[in-house]
């Protein structure tokens, strides 16, 4: 069976088209979804991510706002800024671009964001919703990855799913989402022994490791759905965690990098912001 490419550019464009329509409908009701992105300092990679988020807002008709703060801002001043945005009814989503400079307490900053405005889904309340399977904001990258997995049309219940990586922003929520889909889920990490034995059983393999070309063809079950979350800069080029050229000869479906999960992450951020704005109308 020839491999099918799960194209994040095409999929995210479809999602953004639907979001644009829903934003227009909300505007008729007097609400323009607003996303505030806080960027502390001027890390070059963060600058790119923030710019792409702003472009996404512009494309879909949302109010995107980037708040640039000095790298030496104090914890108190940053938290005060978040309080201000929490109170601003024109702001439906607040995102703090990570990583923050080392002197700032990241967890305390994220905890300051109102859970209903936490469009990244990183607040402990939203992490709790993820654990219990109750309604909350789902983290953008795993949400986008799941959308791609679902797009295969395969029955997910009972499938063996292996997630490589156990971070709070990708690996763990990804595993929880797959569990919700009734997959049998294995989480592998840096201390996992005989990694290949696990990955070769996977009908669905998600790589969120942060090492270019880490997943090789001999680690993949023939016909598997392979989702590459990795974004690694090598010699000025962006590469995924999967050795794409070799793995595409074995996999049934595969996501490219660039043009894969990264595109979906932004689409899901816009979706989360839209949903946050729609919720405010329901609560009026």
- With contacts defined by CB under 6 A, name the span among 16-24, 34-42, 165-173, 272-280 that binds ligand NAD: 165-173
Residue 143 a catalytic site member: no
Q: Is 170 in the site for ligand NAD (CB under 6 A)?
A: yes
| Residue of minimal Cβ distance to ligand NAD | 167
Instruction: Tell me whether residue 116 or residue 228 sits nearer to ligand NAD (CB atom).
Output: 228
Rounded Cα–Cα distance for residues 92 and 55 (Å): 17
Active site residue 53: yes
Choice from 70, 189, 196, 233 touching ligand NAD (CB under 6 A): 189
Q: Which stretch binds ligand NAD (CB under 6 A): 33-41, 71-79, 153-161, 202-210?
A: 202-210
Give the x/- contact pattern for ligand NAD in 232-271, rule: CB under 6 A.
x----------------------------xx--x------
Report whether 150 contacts 266 (CB < 8 A).
no
Sign of the alpha-carbon dihedral angle for 124, 128, 134, 140: positive
Please pick, among 16, 117, 118, 120, the residue that the annotation labels catalytic.
Answer: 120
Is position 203 annotated as part of the catalytic site? Answer: no
What tokens were used for 163? Answer: 């997630």
Q: 113 or 212: whose CB is closer to ligand NAD?
A: 212
What CA–CA distance (Å, rounded) separates 71 from 76? 14
Which is nearest to 91 in space by CA: 76, 79, 81, 105? 81
CB-neighbour burial class of residue 177 (10 A; exposed 0-12, middle 13-18, buried 19+) = buried
Residue 125 near residue 152, CB atoms below 8 Å? no
- Count of other CB atoms within 10 angstroms of residue 139: 29
Query: Which of these ranges, 33-41, 114-122, 208-216, 270-278, lies near ligand NAD under the rule CB under 6 A?
Result: 208-216
Q: Does residue 192 interact with ligand NAD by CB under 6 A?
A: yes
Of the residues 97, 143, 241, 243, which is catalytic? 97
Residue 123: both structure tokens together? 């607040």
Nearer to ligand NAD, 19 or 148 (CB): 148
Is there binding between residue 201 and ligand NAD (CB under 6 A)? no
User: Judged by CB under 6 A, which stretch of 26-34, 81-89, 99-107, 186-194 contacts ligand NAD?
Assistant: 186-194
Tell me how far, at minimum, the Cβ of 158 lies from ligand NAD, in Å: 25
Q: Give whichever of 26 and 231 is closer to ligand NAD, judged by the CB atom.
A: 231
Q: Are the C-beta atoms of 186 and 198 separated by less than 8 Å?
A: yes
Q: Which of residues 72-111 bind ligand NAD (CB under 6 A)?
A: none
Active site amino acids:
53, 97, 120
* Residue ranges binding ligand NAD (CB under 6 A): 141, 164-167, 169-171, 188-190, 192, 195, 208-210, 229-232, 261-262, 265
């Amino acid at each position: 069976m020839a491999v099918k490419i799960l194209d994040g550019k095409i999929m995210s464009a479809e999602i953004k088209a639907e979001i644009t329509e829903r934003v227009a409908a909300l505007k008729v009701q007097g609400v323009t979804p607003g996303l505030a992105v806080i960027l502390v300092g001027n890390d070059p990679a963060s600058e790119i991510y923030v710019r792409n988020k702003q472009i996404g807002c512009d494309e879909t008709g949302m109010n995107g706002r980037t708040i640039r703060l000095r790298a030496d801002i104090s914890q108190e001043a940053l938290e005060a800024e978040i309080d201000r945005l929490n109170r601003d009814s024109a702001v439906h989503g607040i995102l703090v671009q990570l990583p923050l400079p080392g002197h700032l307490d990241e967890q305390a900053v994220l905890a300051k964001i109102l859970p209903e405005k936490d469009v990244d889904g990183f607040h402990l309340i939203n992490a709790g919703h993820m654990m219990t399977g109750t309604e909350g904001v789902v983290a953008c990258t795993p949400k986008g990855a799941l959308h791609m997995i679902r797009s295969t049309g395969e029955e997910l219940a009972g499938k063996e799913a292996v997630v490589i990586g156990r971070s709070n922003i990708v690996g763990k929520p990804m595993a929880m989402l797959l569990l919700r889909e009734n997959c049998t889920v294995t989480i592998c990490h840096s201390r996992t022994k005989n990694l290949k034995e696990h990955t070769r059983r996977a009908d669905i393999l998600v790589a969120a490791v942060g090492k270019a070309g880490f997943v090789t063809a001999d680690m993949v079950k023939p016909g598997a759905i392979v989702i590459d979350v990795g974004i690694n800069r090598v010699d000025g080029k962006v590469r995924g965690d999967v050795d794409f050229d070799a793995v595409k000869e074995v996999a049934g479906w595969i996501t490219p990098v660039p043009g894969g999960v990264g595109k979906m992450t932004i689409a899901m951020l816009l979706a989360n912001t839209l949903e946050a704005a729609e919720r405010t109308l329901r609560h009026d």
